[in-house]
A and B are shown apart, each in its own frame.
Chain A
Amino acid sequence: MAAEPFDVIVVGSGAAGGTAAYALTRAGARVCLLEAGRSYDPQRETPMFERTAVAPLRDAGTPDKPFGFYDATVDGGWVLPEEPFATAPGTEFRWFRARMLGGRTNHWGRVALRYADHDLKAFSRDGFGADWPFNYGEFSPWYDQAERLVGVFGSNPGLPDQPDSPPGCLQPPPVPRSFERLIMAGGRRLGRPVVASHTAVITRPINGRQACFYATPCLRGCSIGANFQSPTVLLPSARATGRLTTITHAQAYEIELARDGKARGVHYLDRRTNAHHFVAGRAVLLGASAMESVRMLFNSRSTAFPDGIGAESGWLGRGIMDSTGSNVWGQFPQMEGLPPFNDDGVWLPHVYIPWWAWPEQRAGKLPFTRGYHLELYGGRLEPSADTFDFFDTVSPFSYGARLKQEAQRYYGSFVRLSQRGEMIAREYNRVQIDPVLRDAWGIPSLRFDVRWSEQELHQTAHAQQSMAEFIEAAGGKLVAPLPKDPAHAILPPGRIIHEVGGARSGADPRKSVTNSFGRIWGVPNLYVIDGAVFPSSAHKNPTLTIVAFTLRACDHIQREMRHG
């Protein structure tokens, strides 16, 4: 059991904090991991084979469990009465939280795509936001490591928007499912690619983890460790070093600086007892989730930093992003009344539609400058509380024998296409500390002021049209007509749960909060390692990039520590 003094204090145990604990303990550091939620053991707690039939409300989402009773989220959700936040008048923001060991790695879509060089240099391309402080060549070795650690299946089709991985990084993708093959056929008719998804589920055993056994929903978590969750993939290795101390129920709220300007440690409180504690370390890493890390920096005020640590450039809390998201549902007559067959697969996407309209976009023919990809969901999933959502449309007012026939006929014939697109980082999209609002423990809360621009709305209009084209080219029918106004199609900011930015990394201290390793400008031993450092957020789920960024930062940190 590791003891004080700690070399490193890590706040948060998800993709960023879990990766830091993994990398640093293995490199010899004594790490203290602070987690606001409770301990969580997927091996013992995951309802792998529990059936929908016995779940309250048949696993329908509720405010207590927005993604259903069995979802692997503990003490989380969109609205946490004890952890309120404010939004500026006329704006909306959704903020999903999970207070548990492993954070939101326990519940995520597990799409794990690499940023391409053009994603890291989007500002150079269109003048919006800022470039990342490194290029793809410098960053790609960390993606290689991240993919081997996380465990990602996928293929290398050599597309401009999807950098190929070197041999040995990706696992073989599973063959496509029935509804995915239909959309692939539609893509061939349209001349647009539909390729293997990069998904954080292993199809071959690695690092003592079992391969996927192609059954049970991934969003419940995985007791065999076949999908990527911090508590099954990262923390066991860290624990095995004997150098990890984990403190759960520990709500970190302030970084304390010593007289020499270095971080001395972290103040936290026990969420159950309200007792306040302090833990000291030679370095402090914030991986509390983008918005929570920014909140902590704002709440760490001192004479030297009256507006919070990292606030001097004016960029702290600015440049907040989510992914754009919208949906279109199709119904496929070819899928009606099929004979029974098992189409579970890995449950998460086997294939996806990468951003294809590069040439047009580069030529300035599109009214938006950042791309999107499309994800596919549906087919013959286990019947659930939303299986019959479209029955008022496809079989209005039927009952009796006919209703039973229609239930069998339509089951499994619906497919949802989902847009995931890039939102541009804007200075005006920001979080601040609300002047009055506090959480149940008295910690000042955030106030969000985030809105879509014309760019995101134009992109969504294009994506809606494209999704309709895919459905129709694949022989399907739209379940409902497309909304005329993309503002009615786009989901509110935060809803895709890809919120990043607010402590952006950069090469220039006047225009960023951290350097390229996440180190806060002016505080040599304080790092931000989560999504807060993103200067731009490609249309790709941020988790793999967070893991890669953290691995790179930790490599730098251990070299710094070795040299004193």
Chain B
Amino acid sequence: MVDRRKTLSWLLRALALGASPVAHIDFALAGGAQQGRAQSDRREAPANAPADQGYGRDPNLLHPHITWPLTLSPEQKAAVARLADVFLPQIGPSPAASAVGVPEFVDEWISAPYPQQQADRSVILDGLVALERQAPGPINRLAPAQVEALVAKLQSSAVAGDRTAARFFSRFRNVCLVGYYTTLTGVAELGYVGYQPSATFAGPPPEVLARLGV
């Protein structure tokens, strides 16, 4: 992809040694005219273009959005939702995973073009197929008790040393935990109350210091 440029540019460099005056000056900082935001100042060459549909090395951080297509089929996504709701069920006011977008996050995660996510993709998709093989029918059509039984069986296999079951359990659970507890609902459930600008920082309250014994 860069071969042509590579060879050309070194030749051009040799030619340029004859010294030319400053031809291109970016006035963004020298003068008053501010260049636009990240997007308008992006390099045009394709080197940084996310050919694999990743967000690239210079995404607009103030308008975050995913750049890759989601890949779970409706049936897979429904199965993920059923399982996620067993891992993180509704308990009183604490909502179930599917109520805070966990299935959508699992889809976002396993559809991403990056190595960690692609590794999780095979573990999770293969795991779904393996689970369904042990189920009395498609996961998304099982009765709640049947899905719970399926997860209980998965857990027993994992605890008993079935490595494939353990890996699926671990990765599926981790992606669900991240998907759940990074939402504002999840953050509140964990008791994270930061992000509050303040003129001073008082440190932990006395009751916490007492609990810590410091």
Contact = CB atoms under 8 A, between A and B. Distances in A.
Interface in B114-148: 114-117
Contact of A214 (B112, B179, B184, B198): B198
Nearest to B114: A62
Given A56-B55, A58-B179, A277-B20, A178 B208 contact: yes
Contacts of A396: 159
Interface string B23-36: 11111111100110
B149 interface: no
A256 B16 CA distance: 12
A277 B178 contact: no
A362 B184 CA distance: 53
A276 B16 contact: yes
Contacts of A380: 191-192, 194
A69 B59 contact: yes
Contacts of A215: 194-198
B30 A401 contact: no
Interface in A59-98: 59-60, 62-65, 69-70, 73-77, 80-82
B208 A341 contact: yes
Contact of B30 (A1, A49, A267, A346): A1
Contact of B2 (A77, A403, A440): A440
A313 B48 CA distance: 39
Given A75-B58, A401-B91, A51 B184 contact: yes
A124 interface: no
Nearest to B91: A401
Contacts of B16: 267, 269, 276-278
Given A272-B44, A340-B193, A404-B91, A70 B24 contact: no
Contacts of A185: 213-214
Given A56-B108, A177-B203, A441-B9, A69 B64 contact: yes
A340 B169 CA distance: 30
A339 B191 contact: yes
B151 interface: yes
B128 to A, nearest CB: 16
A465 B5 CA distance: 51
A384 B61 contact: no
A246 B26 CA distance: 7
B175 to A, nearest CB: 9
A340 B192 contact: yes
B77 interface: no
Given A58-B105, A256-B19, A388-B181, A175 B57 contact: no
Interface residues of B, number: 106
B142 to A, nearest CB: 16
A59 B203 CA distance: 27
A82 B57 contact: no
B194 A64 contact: no
Given A38-B43, A39-B26, A403-B87, A175 B62 contact: no
A408 B189 contact: yes
B8 to A, nearest CB: 7
Contacts of A47: 61-62, 64
Contacts of A44: 37
Contact of B174 (A55, A391, A408): A391
A364 interface: no
A385 B47 contact: no
Contact of B191 (A235, A389, A408): A408
Contact of A45 (B5, B62, B109, B112): B62
Interface in A356-391: 380-385, 387-389, 391
B74 interface: no
Contact of B13 (A174, A248, A382, A442): A442
Interface of A: 1-2, 4, 32-33, 38-39, 41, 44-47, 49-60, 62-65, 69-70, 73-77, 80-82, 101, 174-178, 181-182, 184-185, 211, 213-216, 220, 235, 239, 244-250, 253-254, 256, 265, 267, 269-279, 334-335, 338-346, 380-385, 387-389, 391-392, 396-397, 399-401, 403-404, 407-408, 411-412, 438-443, 475
Given A64-B59, A339-B208, 17 more contacts: A45-B37, A45-B38, A45-B61, A56-B55, A57-B109, A57-B117, A65-B57, A75-B43, A82-B2, A215-B198, A276-B12, A338-B208, A341-B208, A381-B192, A383-B187, A403-B87, A404-B91
14 contacts: A33-B29, A73-B57, A181-B214, A276-B12, A276-B15, A276-B16, A339-B207, A344-B195, A383-B182, A397-B166, A399-B155, A407-B181, A440-B5, A442-B10
